[in-house]
Structure 1
Amino acid sequence: MSIATTIIRITERAALIKSFEIMKELRTDLTLESYLELYEVMEQEGYELYALYNDREIQALAGVAIKTNFYNKKHLWVYDLVTSSASRSSGYGKELMLFLSDYASENNCVYIALESGLQRLDAHRFYEGKFAFEKFCYSFRKSL
C-alpha cells in the first residue's frame, strides 16, 4: 500500500458525486440521483461518509453514524464499507476499519456495530477474522 493514503470525511458535493462509483458496487440499486437525495437526509440524521484516497483517487468508503440504544449503548454504526473492486485485497478496508476503531474510541463508543448480508461470506471472514467481530443476532425487515 502506498504511503500516500489519506482518509477524509466527504463534505463537498463534487467528492460525493465521485464517491458514487464505488458506493454503487455495494449498493447496486442506487442511482446517482437517489444516492444524492438519500445522502442529504442521512447526513441530517448524523451519517458521515469517509473516503480513503490513494494518490488522489478514492479507493474505499465507510459510511457511519454514532448512535445510542439499549443493547449497543453508545456505538459507531457502520452502514457502508466498500473498497473499489479494482483495489480489493490492498489493505484499504483494513486501514478504514482501524480508522473507524480509533474514531469510535475517541468518541467514547462501547462498540462498533454493523450488518452484513447473509450472502457476503468474504465480508464475514474479514470482520470476524481480522477484527474479531462477533455474530450476536439476526436482523429482520419486512417490505411495506
Structure 2
Amino acid sequence: MNIRELTTEAEWRRAYPVMKELRTHLEPESYLQLVQEMRGEGYRLFALEEDGEILAVTGVTIRTTLYYGKHLFIHDLVTRADRRSRGCGERLLSYVEEWGRSRGCGSVALTSGLARRDAHRFYEERMGYDRVSHVFRKIF
C-alpha cells in the first residue's frame, strides 16, 4: 500500500468514487469545484492506494485557532466500503497525523456526524481520540 497526496484534477477525479461514499450529496463537478476552492484555503487530499486502486482518502488543512492552536483539521476520511476494517483508515490517518506533526501542528481535530457510531468507535478506541465538543450548524 502506498500513500500520497493527490494534486491534479485527474487524481481528484479518480478519488471521487471513494469520497462519494462519505459525501453522498456531491456530484463529480461540484466535488471538483469544491476541492479547487478549498485548495486555495490550504486543503490537501491524500489517498491510500494498492495496485493502482484508491482504497481510502482523507482531506486535511492546517489551521490555527485560539482553542487548539496550530493543528491539523481532518475534513474527510473515508475507506472504500469493501475495504473497511482492514487497517486502511488507520494507516492513512496515522500518515496525515505525522504529516501535520512534521509541519508544527500540536494536535489534530475533526468532526463526525452523530449517526456515524462505527466511525466514533474507530476514532476513540483505535486511534486514541477524545470527544471534546459538540458541533453546531445553521444553514442559511
The verdict on a shared fold, with TM-score over 0.5 as the criterion, is yes
Residue 27 of structure 1 pairs with residue 23 of structure 2: yes
C-alpha deviation, 1:80, in angstroms? 0.2
Q: Which residue of 2 aligns with 1:123?
A: 119
Deviations 1:85-128 (A, max 9, x none): 11111110010111012112101111110000000000000000
Pairwise CA distance, 1:28: 0.4
Q: Partners of 2:57 and 2:97 in 1: how far apart? A: 15
> If the length of structure 2 is used for normalisation, what is the TM-score?
0.98
Displacement of 1:49: 0.2
Give me the whole-angstrom Cα distance separating, in 1, the residues matched to 2:97 and 2:28: 29
Residue among 9, 14, 18 paired with 2:10: 14
| Structure 1 gap segments, 5+ residues each | none
Q: Report the TM-score when normalising by structure 1.
A: 0.95
C-alpha distance in 1, partners of 2:139/2:116?
21
Confirm whether residue 84 of structure 1 aligns to residue 80 of structure 2: yes
1:67 and 2:81 aligned:
no
Name the SS of the counterpart of 1:50 in structure 2: strand
Runs of 4+ in structure 1 deviating by more than 2 angstroms, as ranges, are none
Count of matched residue pairs: 140
SS where residue 64 of structure 2 aligns? strand
RMSD, aligned CA: 0.7
1:69 counterpart letter in structure 2: T
* Sequence identity (%): 43
Give the superposition deviation at 1:7.
0.6
TM-fit CA distance, 1:15: 1.2
Aligned to 2:132: 136
Q: Aligned AA for 1:131?
A: M
Instruction: Tell me how far 1:53 sits from its aligned partner.
Output: 0.5
